[in-house]
Structure 1
């Protein structure tokens, strides 16, 4: 366990925001664990699963060290954590840190790693993506689905950075994005079969507006997308209309989730780009560099849905 410092800010609505200075390299995939009252998330590049009690007066971070990059995680119904490592899926037991193999994703080409993931509303499927991990992004990424029987199927290819996976409140649609292309799609989702129909364009969000990283959908059907290139949380209605964005005190937010005992908060992870670490933190007039890589807690819109847990057979 290590203690973390807290700093107070105001968000774009004038509401209080708490920054937990956790110093992530690539913080991602926050998930609220209602059973323990803790937030879990990953640091892709530090190869860690992390956990914090955000209601503690002296918050500490617990971490589990992994031996390879971790691109996504999900809670399981039995309390274990499903992790998408470089090219394989494993189960982590938080009591002793032991790992149990689940599946190898052997269709991924060299230079790819797994990235982003979300449990389907019924808990029977884990949809996860992959991405080209080189400096020049190539469209070699895919969407895959893991079933409760431990089998993996490919849903779609041709993506550079598969991301932004989320489900509509009724569970009948799935959203996903290509962060490199700035494109978000929506497709019919068949929970019984763990399959999706033909995707259609949902929204485009470019460099200036914030390329789409991790996402969550609220009870109203709004799609909340971390604008990783613009320091803000973008919001889109269910019919694709851009809603007012929420500006954050970091340059690269990565994903948002609902959390807290009554889902009264948003938690947002962030990253630090390698070129930003070459010198002292810079303030570009809008985003203070010292906040990059932090975890943020904001008052939510009160429309949160609990995260589904994955159920193995």
Structure 2
């Protein structure tokens, strides 16, 4: 299904897969999808179940008809059978369909006889052959991790089997992957029970450092080990979940440190996460995408310049500061804060000891950043973080995500589960004196915040739901009301991430996994697509003296070696000079 809005079907531009970029105004065409002709009844039924599952919301008959490409009569018959067998539920009140409870019964039957070692053996061998590295299956046993199965690489053939070996939780990739995925109380008990023994100078030996590391692991979806239990060993691991989202083990690539530096470990993460999902077929963690779309075929008319060639994991939150003539942005998962000086073209990275999901300049000087430990004032020269406020202080395993200041200088920020569990996110409004209020809830991955030029409409994105919402907004009081969808992005068109609003009230939206920035009218109609040379653009903002430069951040997170070879600039900062659009001045935080 193409991009849609509440005011009618959105348009979709054409194009070629050539860098630099594209700018188009063509009408939308339906995305290519396989037809149902020639499929057997079982395949058609499975296709319907997959469509309903992927939608994450009840679907009407008309929506299913449009999505499945089946004749009406055939769709009626298959739906009736699926409802009768309990695989789908039909709500007679709103005439929608959603997954049925019989699926839970079937899942229970499968898991009651689930053998992790047997289920994993083919995936372990496949990974070993594909990567020529030793692959291990591990599980948590008390305060240790035990290797349950191992597929040694060709170079490791003939060496002593690792099966049965016990690994320290805090100093192994497998241990950290499993521990990071535990529920908050289980994780807390495990950390308290661990003997944080130092094995090398790289070993984590304090509970505070370990908690910060586990936060990063949970947010990334995988763990890395670099000389923490032995200087010559390195590993990367991803958790395996059961049908209720609980970690039951981990799959790990382990090798000599000379073969696996941090950069390569990150590129192997998508293969590991794909293997872990294949082993258990669990839906847990699937909010973290590991596959990208092919580059769109579009014609080029706008140049995209790479102004800072860095391999950030998750570049995000660009904000232009006229006061400093600089662009600030964060790499959430490295973690660090960047300052791009527009006059010199120099990008300066300041590492932080904790995850940072947004950065905004303060009117009184310095910066404000969001960390898992709260909203903090940051002095870049000293790297000192000072607590400002913490709306989520009472909850565990949550972090802040995107945020932006309105034109009165209030900070609006969303929160989410560390592992992107559904509906745990809130939306907060923070005043200059540090007081705050929760203004909405029920988000999964809150993103992309912005305001219309007349300050009467506020926009907030939920990436997980593929929806950009709009609220009625009152600038004087900071009140919002009447949340409703403005734009819905089809899965085939990528995921809506960060956004900015231009002086004409149009929304510019970064489309994760789609190689594009899309421009929408204030009514939600697709107007343009800009092709960027990376699959995962994350956010955008206007900057420069005339606010006619669109800066775009990007990510390299969970991209494979092959994907990075196709898009080597992933993680970099880009600038697009726009001939017919200008931004609106972004406000600093009033505090």
TM-score by length of 1: 0.89
1:151-162 alignment runs, 5 A limit: 151-162=435-446
Partner of 2:576: 298
Single out whichever of 294-303 and 196-205 deviates more from structure 2. 294-303
Partner of 1:22: 310
Equivalent pairs counted in the alignment come to: 295
* Separation in structure 2 between the aligned mates of residue 171 and residue 87 of structure 1, nearest angstrom: 31
Structure with more helix by fraction: 2
Partner of 2:356: 70
Partner of 2:588: 309
Query: Structure 1 residue 176: deviation in Å?
Result: 0.2
Query: Structure 1 residue 260: deviation in Å?
Result: 1.0
* 1:272 alignment partner, SS class: coil
Query: Structure 1 residue 106: deviation in Å?
Result: 3.0
* Separation in structure 2 between the aligned mates of residue 243 and residue 111 of structure 1, nearest angstrom: 39
Query: Structure 1 residue 179: deviation in Å?
Result: 0.2
Gap regions ≥5 residues in structure 1 = 1-8
**Counterpart contact for 1:105–1:152, Cα < 8 Å:** yes
Partner of 1:5: none
2:384 aligns with one of 98, 111, 114: 98
Q: Deviations along 1:119-168, whole A, 9 cap, x unmatched?
A: 01122x1100011221x632101111101120121111111101111111
Asked if residue 233 in structure 1 is aligned to residue 495 in structure 2, the reply is no
1:279-298 alignment runs, 5 A limit: 279-282=561-564, 288-298=566-576
Query: Structure 1 residue 227: deviation in Å?
Result: 0.5
**Counterpart contact for 2:317–2:330, Cα < 8 Å:** yes
* Separation in structure 2 between the aligned mates of residue 263 and residue 52 of structure 1, nearest angstrom: 15
* Separation in structure 2 between the aligned mates of residue 65 and residue 244 of structure 1, nearest angstrom: 36
Q: Whose RCO is larger (CA < 8 A, sep 6+)?
A: 1
Query: Structure 1 residue 264: deviation in Å?
Result: 2.2
Query: Structure 1 residue 98: deviation in Å?
Result: 2.2
1:161-176 alignment runs, 5 A limit: 161-176=445-460
Query: Structure 1 residue 244: deviation in Å?
Result: 1.8
Asked if residue 11 in structure 1 is aligned to residue 36 in structure 2, the reply is no
Distance 1:60 1:280, change over 3 A: farther
Query: Structure 1 residue 107: deviation in Å?
Result: 5.5
1:156-305 alignment runs, 5 A limit: 156-274=440-558, 276-277=559-560, 279-282=561-564, 288-300=566-578, 301-305=580-584
Gap regions ≥5 residues in structure 2 = 1-18, 24-300
Query: Structure 1 residue 281: deviation in Å?
Result: 4.5
**Counterpart contact for 1:210–1:226, Cα < 8 Å:** no
2:429 aligns with one of 126, 138, 145: 145
* Separation in structure 2 between the aligned mates of residue 108 and residue 23 of structure 1, nearest angstrom: 34
Distance 1:209 1:64, change over 3 A: same
* Separation in structure 2 between the aligned mates of residue 107 and residue 232 of structure 1, nearest angstrom: 36
* Separation in structure 1 between the aligned mates of residue 564 and residue 435 of structure 2, nearest angstrom: 46
Asked if residue 113 in structure 1 is aligned to residue 373 in structure 2, the reply is no
Query: Structure 1 residue 210: deviation in Å?
Result: 2.3
**Counterpart contact for 2:20–2:531, Cα < 8 Å:** no
Partner of 1:80: 366
Structure with more strand by fraction: 1
Query: Structure 1 residue 206: deviation in Å?
Result: 2.5
**Counterpart contact for 1:232–1:246, Cα < 8 Å:** yes
Q: Deviations along 1:215-273, whole A, 9 cap, x unmatched?
A: 10111110111101211101110011111211111000000000111112110000112
What's the Cα RMSD here? 1.8
* Separation in structure 2 between the aligned mates of residue 78 and residue 18 of structure 1, nearest angstrom: 33
Asked if residue 37 in structure 1 is aligned to residue 316 in structure 2, the reply is no
Query: Structure 1 residue 299: deviation in Å?
Result: 0.8
**Counterpart contact for 1:137–1:180, Cα < 8 Å:** no
* Separation in structure 1 between the aligned mates of residue 581 and residue 364 of structure 2, nearest angstrom: 28
Q: Deviations along 1:162-202, whole A, 9 cap, x unmatched?
A: 11111111112110011011011100112222221121110
* 2:493 alignment partner, SS class: coil
Q: Deviations along 1:90-112, whole A, 9 cap, x unmatched?
A: 11123333222110123564222
